[in-house]
Amino acid sequence: MTTINQEQYLGPDEILRKKKEYMIPCVYHFYAQPMQLVKGEMQYLYDHTGKQYLDCFAGVSVVNCGHCHPEITKAVCDQVMTLQHTCTIYLTENIVNLAQRLSKITPGRLQKTFFCSSGTEANEGAALLASIYTGKQEFISLRQGLHGRTKLTMSLTGLSMWRTDTSPVGGISFAPNAYCYRCPYGKRHPECDLACANELETIIKTTTAGQVAAFIAEPIQGNGGIITPPPGYFKRIKEILDKYNILLIIDEIQTGFGRTGKMFGIEHYGVEPDIMTMAKALGNGTPVGAFTARPEIADTYTRPGASTLGGNPVTSAAALATLEVLTKNNLAAQAALLGEYLKQGLTELQKKHPLIGDIRGHGLMLGAEIVKPDKSPATEQLDRMLEEMKNRGFLIGKNGPDRNVMAFQPPLVITRDDLDNLLNNLADVLATMD
């Protein structure tokens, strides 16, 4: 417990009352008995009573460098005290330095960047750029993908719970995702010969008008259930796209910046995107979004365009400091090592508890799918598990179409001792579920 003055805070009940009265109800929260979080410190969060929680979700893959990292916080504070905002109509230094830095770490020939304020904006902008470059308007997305909350990005989303628009954008086709645990073809990898990837060509030829600007995909589908394609999947996808002159947009909004054990998730597959989108962990908690492209693609976007707050001095300072912390401390490599350790621990639990049907992911982006004996989603059981883990001081995510996938996406500064503590408590909770 840390010392916190409870009297200065509203408390969970009053927050829930105000939330119900003043906020649009689509903004929901986890837990039957939620807590009020008031402080963050690296891999830990604290509620208004002073109780400590090990954060195993990182604000959904945002605070990769940890909550309130002192070097990033200092960079933000220093910048706020000198120049907070101007907009891109005036010249400032941080934004171009950040664009240059990104060009050095992004895959292949990606070089020129547009900055905005969220992942949704980044995906919307990437789709626009693809249409400008190709002169085409159709798109292909993956089932169970999530790309945003605007009209177009929601229409590109393949999860029904996030598709609340009653009149989605047309001209979008959906391809099967590489969900090996529940293969839509009833096959197993590698004997399947990547049937899900091969289906893309059939979709291009049968469900589109042949005017496809781009195919958009996450290297690992976060909200879709930590769906992790097998080796060779994206290479086969890229072969098909190149055959039909269709661009590849890779959405790195959850997978980027060390999360998967590499700087970007697509690096696991040895494929160069034509356009790549980023957000979340780039700012380590500061609102940020960006899309970057090869010069010949980027240079076709010449008519005036701006994002009022995109790449502002404070956001860019935060992002530059974040990249420095990530690279200086080699957090991607750390995520790879700790992710393998966590996966081994989960695999040992799986041997004892059939509730864990599948374990997948790379680095510190792992999912454990919770199932009933007939392999059907065990959604209620997972909710009970997460509630009990929260009571024990561990905050774990959940995702998937049926919300039955336990998502482990902690700050990359988590330690092996933290993971041991997590696994020991998870073992206790699983034992009560058998």
Q: What is the pTM of this model?
A: 0.95
Answer for the pair 156, 172: CB distance below 8 angstroms, yes or no. Answer: yes
* HSE-up of residue 379 (Cα within 13 Å, Cβ side): 6
Q: What is the pLDDT of residue 1?
A: 58
Q: How many helices (H) and strands (E) does the chain have?
A: 13, 15
Collapsed DSSP state (helix, strand, coil) of residue 194: coil
| Fold (CATH) for 12-60+330-432 | Aspartate Aminotransferase, domain 1 (3.90.1150)
Sequence ranges of the domains in the chain: 12-60+330-432, 70-329
The packing angle between helices 331-352 and 313-328, to 10°, is 70
In the prediction, which pLDDT does 206 show?
97
Q: What is the pLDDT of residue 134?
A: 98
Q: What is the CATH number of domain 70-329?
A: 3.40.640.10
The CA distance from 215 to 236, in Å, is: 13
d(CA 322, CA 403): 31
Reading the chain (434 residues) residue by residue, the pLDDT tens digits are 567 777 789 999 899 999 999 999 988 899 999 999 999 999 999 999 999 999 999 999 999 999 999 999 999 999 999 999 998 999 999 999 999 999 999 999 999 999 999 999 999 999 999 999 999 999 999 999 999 999 999 999 999 989 998 889 999 999 999 999 999 888 999 989 999 999 999 999 999 999 999 999 999 999 999 999 999 999 999 999 999 999 999 999 999 999 999 999 999 999 999 999 999 999 999 999 999 999 999 999 999 988 999 999 999 999 999 999 999 999 999 999 999 999 999 999 999 999 999 999 999 999 999 999 999 999 999 999 999 999 999 999 999 999 999 999 999 999 999 999 999 999 999 999 87
User: What values do phi and psi take at 103, rounded to 5?
Assistant: -65, -25
Per-residue pLDDT at 135 = 97
pLDDT score recorded for residue 4:
73
d(CA 389, CA 151): 36
Predicted pLDDT at 5: 76
The predicted structure's pLDDT at residue 6: 73
Q: What is the pLDDT of residue 165?
A: 87
